[in-house]
Structure 1
Amino acid sequence: MGTAAASADAGELGRHLGVFDAVVIGLGSMIGAGVFAALAPAAGAAGSGLLPGLALAAAVAYSNAASSARLAARYPRSGGTYVYGRERLGDFWGYLAGWGFVVGKTTSCAAMALTVGSYVWPGQAHAVAVAAVVALTAVNYVGVQKSAWLTRAIVAVVLAVLAAVVTACLTCGTAQAARLEPGTGATFGGVLQAAGLLFFAFAGYARIATLGEEVRDPERTIPRAIPLALGITLVVYAAVAVAVLAVLGPDRLAHTAAPLAEAVRAAGAPGLAPVVRAGAAVAATGSLLALVLGVSRTTLAMARDRHLPHALAAVHPRFQVPHRAELAVGAVVAVLAATTDVRGAIGFSSFGVLVYYAIANAAAWTLTPAEGLPVRKVPRMVPRIVPAVGAAGCLVLAFALPAASVLSGAAVIAAGAAAYGLRRALVSRA
C-alpha cells in the first residue's frame, strides 16, 4: 500500500491492465462507435463502393495502429500521440495532436451519450445522455479496473447482438432478402469520403495507447493489444456490412436512421429489432466509457506540461486515476449532451482524429531500428513504408471528408495553434 500511495503522490498511475483488458477496451470503443453509427452515412457517400471504402479505412487504420503500437511501447505514458509528437517532433506538434484529440473526442463523447439517449428514451434523449455521462464518469473515477470489467460485459453483449444480426440477414430466404443491388454508382471520391467517415469507427485503438501508463509490461502488452483489437473489429465490421448490404442494398442502407434494426426487419425477423436497439444503446455506452477514459488521460498529459490547467494533473492517491481530469471531461461532455445535438459530428471527429494520427505516423517515421523495438516483438512494424503510408492516407482521407467537416475541423486546429502561440509569447515575455 505504501508503494501505491507513493506512486500516486508522485503523479503516476497504477499498472493494472493486461493484454485481454487492453484489447477489450479497444473493442468497446471501436465497435460501439462505428457499427451502429457510420455505415449509413458511408453508404450515402460511396453507394456500392461501401466495402472498398471499409477496406481502405482498415488499411489506413492498420498503418496507424502499427505506428502507434511501436511508439506506445517506447513511451508507455498517458497521452498517446500528444507524448509521441512532443518527444519525436517537438512540443508544438505534440500539443497540436493532443488538442485535436481532446476537442474532437470530447464532441464524440457527447455524440455517443446522445446516441444512448435516443435508443433508451427518444423523448428524453438529452436527460438520459447526461445521466449516462454522470454514471460512467463515476465508474471511471473509482479505478480503471472497474472500467475494464464493465467494458468486458458491454463488449460481450454487443458481439452477441451483432452475431444475431449477421445470422438473421445471411440465413433469410431469398424471397425476403434483397439482392446486393448495384445502387448508387461508386466514384473514387465517394469511396475516399466513405473511408474517411468509416475511419471514425476504427479510431478506438487509440484508447489503448492513451492508457500506456496503466498497462502491465507495456513493451509487450501494447504491441499485442492494438493489432488484436483492430483485427477483431475489422472482421466484425466486414461481416455486418456484408450482411446488411445483402438485405437492404446500398441505397436503402444510406437512407435509414437505424440500419441494423431495419435489416433484421427486412430479413423477416422483426422480433430482433428491439434487441438490436438495446444492443445499440449498450454499444454506445461502451464507446462513451472508453472515450471518456481516453480523453481524460490525454488531458492529464497536457495538464502535466501546463498546456491545460495544471490542477488537472492530479492523481487520486487511492484509486490511482486522474480524477480531476475525469471530472472536468465529464462535466464538459454533460453540458454538451444537455444543450446540443452533435449526432452529426462524425465528420468533425474524423478530421481531428486523422490529423492526430498523421502526427503519430510522422513521429514513427523518426524511429530507427537501433532505438526501436526488436522485430520479434513488433512484427512487420519496423519498415518506414508503414508510417509513410499511414501519414499519406490520413491526410488524403481528412481532406476527402465533407467540406463542412474539413472547414470546421481546420478552424479548430487553427484555433489550437493560435492558443499555443499566444501562450508561448506570454511565457517568453514573463
Structure 2
Amino acid sequence: MTGLVRRLGLGDTVVVGLGAMIGAGVFSAFAPAAAAAGSGLLVGLAIAALVAYCNATSSARLAALYPTSGGTYVYGRERLGPFWGYLAGWSFVVGKTASCAAMALTVGLHVWPERAHLVAVAAVVLLTALNYVGVKKAARVIVATVLVVLAVVVVTGLGSSAVDLGNLGVAGGFGVLEAAGLLFFAFAGYARVATLGEEVRDPVRTIPRAISIALVITLFVYAAVGVTVLSVLGPARLAESKAPLVDVVVAAGVPGLAPVVTVGAALAALGALLALILGVSRTVLAMARDRHLPGALAVVHPRFSVPHRAELVVGAVVAIAAGFADLRGVIGFSSFGVLLYYAIANASAWTLGSRRVVPVVGLLGCVVLACTLPVVSVLSGAAVVVVGIVLYAVR
C-alpha cells in the first residue's frame, strides 16, 4: 500500500496546526526573544507575524494546487525545479527535527528539570508510538486543554498587582530582528497542514481555510500571552526564565496554579511534538518516493495507513538530538532551516503569476530574519544546508 487515507476534516486540520504553533511558541520562544530584544519583544512578535502571514498565504495558494504530502518540497519541485524542491525538503526535515528536539526538551524542563533530557527522550518515544494509531483525538484534547491553561495565565497575570505597563515600552535595533527570527520558530506550525495534504478531505478548500483560521487564532493567543509575560516579569527576568508562564502565576501571587501551568506546558509541547513528528515524517515520505531518501521510507503501514518507517527513523533521530541538545540553541538552528524552507515557498508562489506582493514580502522577510539570527545558528544552519547540497550533487 502506497497511498494515505483522506480522513482529516477542517476542524481536525485546524487542530493539527494549532497544536504545532501554540505548543511551540508560548512555552519556549519568548525567553530567548526577550534576551535578544528586551522590551522590543512585542515589535519582534509583530514582524514575525507579518512574515508568517505572507508565508501562510503563499503556502495556502500552493497547497490548493498541489494537495499531496510534502508541502514546499512538492511546491518547489513543481514550480522551480527538482533542486529547489529537494533543498526545501532538506531544510524542512533538518529544521523541524531540531524543532522536535526543542519541544521534547520543553516537556523535560517543565516536568523534571533535573532530568530534562531523559524526559525528552521518553516523550519522543511515546509520541512516535502514538502517531502509529492517529492524531485526531489526542490533538483535540491537548489543544483544548492548553488554550484553557493559557487563558488562566493571562487572566491571572493581567489581573494582578504585579503588572507593570512600563515593561511594554517600544524598543528598536538589531535585537528586534533577531527576536523576530526566534519568534518565527513559534509560527511555523501551519506547515504541518500543508504536509498533510494527502490525508485531508477536500484539500483544495480545506487547506487554505485551515491555515488561515489556525494562524489568526495563534496570533491572538501569542499577543495576549506576550503582553502578560512581559508586563508581569519584565524583559530581564523573562530572558532568564526557563518556565515563563509558571513564573507569571507565581509572581501574580497564585503559586497554587503553578502545577496546573506546568501540566499545560507539558501538554502543549507534547501536542507540538506530535504534529512535528507527523509533518517531518510526511516530508520524508515524499522525498523517499522521489528517491532523494532511501525508498524503504516510502512504505505506508497496511493497517494504520501511516508512513511507519519514516516515523520510526524521524523518532530515532529526534530522540538522539533531544538527549544532548540545548533548548535555545535548537530554536535558533530550527528557525534558520524553516525560514529557508518558507523562502522557497514564497518563491514558488511568486511563479503563480498573480498577487505577487505577498510572496515578495514573505521572501525578503525570510531572508532578513534568517540572516539576523544568532551567529552560531546561522553558521551551523548554513553548514547543514551545504551538506545537503553536496549530497544532492553526489546523487
Tell me the TM-score normalized by structure 1: 0.89
Aligned to 1:401: 373
Aligned to 1:170: 158
Q: Residue 94 of structure 1 aligns to which amino acid in structure 2?
A: G
1:331 aligns with 2:316: yes
Alpha carbons 2:76, 2:82 under 8 Å: kept: yes
1:154 aligns with 2:142: yes
1:126 aligns with 2:106: no
Q: What is the CA–CA distance in structure 2 between the aligned matches of 1:255 and 1:125, rounded to whole Å?
A: 17
Q: Structure 1 residues 20 and 328, CA, compared in 2 at 3 Å: closer, same or farther?
A: same
Q: Structure 1 residues 187 and 303, CA, compared in 2 at 3 Å: closer, same or farther?
A: same
Shift of 1:339: 4.1
1:73 aligns with 2:64: yes
Q: Residue 105 of structure 2 aligns to which amino acid in structure 1?
A: L
Q: What is the CA–CA distance in structure 1 between the aligned matches of 2:12 and 2:340, rounded to whole Å?
A: 27
Q: What is the CA–CA distance in structure 2 between the aligned matches of 1:182 and 1:125, rounded to whole Å?
A: 32
1:281 aligns with 2:266: yes
Note the 1:46-65 alignment, pairs <5 A. Answer: 46-65=37-56
Aligned to 1:294: 279
Q: What is the CA–CA distance in structure 2 between the aligned matches of 1:72 and 1:166, rounded to whole Å?
A: 34
Aligned to 2:358: 386
1:180 aligns with 2:166: yes
Counting matched residue pairs gives 395
Q: What is the CA–CA distance in structure 2 between the aligned matches of 1:247 and 1:124, rounded to whole Å?
A: 28
1:413 aligns with 2:385: yes
Alpha carbons 1:177, 1:266 under 8 Å: kept: no
Q: Structure 1 residues 253 and 123, CA, compared in 2 at 3 Å: closer, same or farther?
A: closer
Q: What is the CA–CA distance in structure 1 between the aligned matches of 2:282 and 2:296, rounded to whole Å?
A: 14
Identity of aligned residues (%): 71
Extract unaligned runs of 5+ from structure 1. 1-8, 369-381, 424-430
Match of 2:344 among 356, 359, 363: 359
Q: Residue 61 of structure 1 aligns to which amino acid in structure 2?
A: A
Q: Residue 405 of structure 1 aligns to which amino acid in structure 2?
A: S
Q: What is the CA–CA distance in structure 1 between the aligned matches of 2:168 and 2:51, rounded to whole Å?
A: 26
Between 359-368 and 185-194, the greater mean CA deviation after superposition: 185-194
Based on CA coordinates, which of the two structures has the bigger radius of gyration?
1
Q: What is the CA–CA distance in structure 1 between the aligned matches of 2:247 and 2:318, rounded to whole Å?
A: 30
Match of 1:85 among 76, 79, 84: 76
SS of the residue corresponding to residue 31 of structure 1 reads helix
Aligned to 2:302: 317
1:27 aligns with 2:18: yes
1:16 aligns with 2:15: no
Aligned to 1:348: 333
Alpha carbons 1:26, 1:226 under 8 Å: kept: yes
Shift of 1:188: 2.5
Shift of 1:259: 1.3
Note the 1:155-234 alignment, pairs <5 A. Answer: 155-173=143-161, 176-181=162-167, 186-234=171-219
Write out per-residue CA displacement over residues 294-335 of structure 1, whole angstroms, 9 at most, x where no aligned residue: 000000000000000000001112211111111111111122
Write out per-residue CA displacement over residues 49-100 of structure 1, whole angstroms, 9 at most, x where no aligned residue: 1111111100000000000001011001100000000000000000001001
Shift of 1:340: 4.0
Q: What is the CA–CA distance in structure 1 between the aligned matches of 2:199 and 2:182, rounded to whole Å?
A: 30
Alpha carbons 1:34, 1:202 under 8 Å: kept: yes
Shift of 1:137: 1.0
Q: What is the CA–CA distance in structure 1 between the aligned matches of 2:118 and 2:167, rounded to whole Å?
A: 40
Q: Structure 1 residues 257 and 121, CA, compared in 2 at 3 Å: closer, same or farther?
A: closer
Q: Residue 299 of structure 1 aligns to which amino acid in structure 2?
A: V
Alpha carbons 1:86, 1:94 under 8 Å: kept: yes
Q: What is the CA–CA distance in structure 1 between the aligned matches of 2:40 and 2:118, rounded to whole Å?
A: 38
Aligned to 2:227: 242
Shift of 1:343: 5.0
Q: Residue 75 of structure 1 aligns to which amino acid in structure 2?
A: Y
Q: Residue 375 of structure 2 aligns to which amino acid in structure 1?
A: A
Alpha carbons 2:23, 2:271 under 8 Å: kept: yes
Q: What is the CA–CA distance in structure 2 between the aligned matches of 1:412 and 1:161, rounded to whole Å?
A: 37
Q: What is the CA–CA distance in structure 2 between the aligned matches of 1:64 and 1:151, rounded to whole Å?
A: 24
Alpha carbons 1:82, 1:97 under 8 Å: kept: yes
Alpha carbons 1:112, 1:343 under 8 Å: kept: no
1:100 aligns with 2:91: yes
Q: What is the CA–CA distance in structure 1 between the aligned matches of 2:150 and 2:159, rounded to whole Å?
A: 14
Q: Residue 109 of structure 2 aligns to which amino acid in structure 1?
A: S
Q: Structure 1 residues 407 and 28, CA, compared in 2 at 3 Å: closer, same or farther?
A: same
Q: What is the CA–CA distance in structure 2 between the aligned matches of 1:384 and 1:206, rounded to whole Å?
A: 20
Q: Residue 333 of structure 1 aligns to which amino acid in structure 2?
A: V
SS of the residue corresponding to residue 275 of structure 1 reads helix
Q: Residue 414 of structure 1 aligns to which amino acid in structure 2?
A: V
Q: What is the CA–CA distance in structure 1 between the aligned matches of 2:44 and 2:9, rounded to whole Å?
A: 33
Write out per-residue CA displacement over residues 24-50 of structure 1, whole angstroms, 9 at most, x where no aligned residue: 000000000111101111111111211
Alpha carbons 1:348, 1:405 under 8 Å: kept: yes
Write out per-residue CA displacement over residues 375-424 of structure 1, whole angstroms, 9 at most, x where no aligned residue: xxxxxxx511010110010001100111111111111111111110111x
Q: What is the CA–CA distance in structure 2 between the aligned matches of 1:48 and 1:386, rounded to whole Å?
A: 28
SS of the residue corresponding to residue 135 of structure 2 reads helix
Aligned to 1:255: 240
What is the CA RMSD across the aligned residues, in angstroms? Answer: 1.4
Q: Residue 219 of structure 1 aligns to which amino acid in structure 2?
A: V
Aligned to 2:103: 112
Tell me the TM-score normalized by structure 2: 0.97
Extract unaligned runs of 5+ from structure 2. none
Q: What is the CA–CA distance in structure 2 between the aligned matches of 1:85 and 1:59, rounded to whole Å?
A: 22
Q: What is the CA–CA distance in structure 1 between the aligned matches of 2:149 and 2:166, rounded to whole Å?
A: 23
